[in-house]
Amino acid sequence: MSAPASPLAASPRLILASASPRRRELLGRLGLTADAVSAADIDETPAPREEPRAYARRMAREKAAAVESETACVLAGDTVVAVGRRILPKAEDEATARACLELLSGRRHRVLSAVALRAPDGTVRERLSETVVRFKQLSREEIAAYLAGGEWEGKAGGYAIQGAAEGLIAWISGSHSGVVGLPLFETRALLRAAGFAIA
């Protein structure tokens, strides 16, 4: 007689629709490792007058839809930094990162982190985390030092909270993991609802 299957064996297969090492690390904190990683390649241009919350949700859904699988669940996320209704760009050059940091200096902003889980039958579940973050008043020297470290490259709003920028953040209310890139409370809820064995 064969031994009964362990609870973990009953979990569905999981594809992470992101090449981000930060999201892989965060997923690991839930005790899960994706069976495959397939970065979704989509147009991330905001629609005209699209609000930050709607944009974050749409991006997560579209990333989940862009990775095809009939046998696995697909997990996708998107993180948006917003000041009011303004969506800050991902900093691809130092000038953009500097402009973002100057805008964020001494003021509160929102980080919206959406996560979507697509089941093999095409059903999509989604959740959204909203965190409020406030930088200290940044001096020109502090901005220059942060830019010199290169952590801003490709980051929404020109900073990464898990690096040196954390020392410049005076206050945060909400999900730290959401600001990093994958809100663990919301992600855990989605995965458990889909049948993943998470304590």
Total number of domains in the chain: 1
Q: Which two tokens stand for residue 3?
A: 């031994």
pLDDT digits (tens, 9 = 90+) for 112-147: 999 999 999 999 999 999 999 999 999 999 999 999
198, part of any domain:
no
The CATH number linked to 111 is 3.90.950.10
pLDDT digits (tens, 9 = 90+) for 137-193: 999 999 999 999 999 999 999 999 999 999 999 999 999 999 999 999 999 999 999
Q: Is 78 a catalytic residue?
A: yes
199, part of any domain:
no
Structural domain span for residue 137: 7-193
Among residues 35, 41, 43, 78, which one is catalytic? Answer: 78
2, part of any domain:
no
Question: Is the pTM here over 0.75, yes or no?
Answer: yes
92, part of any domain:
yes
Please provide the DSSP assignment of 66-107 as one string.
HS--SSEEEEEEEEEEEETTEEPPB--SHHHHHHHHHHHTTS
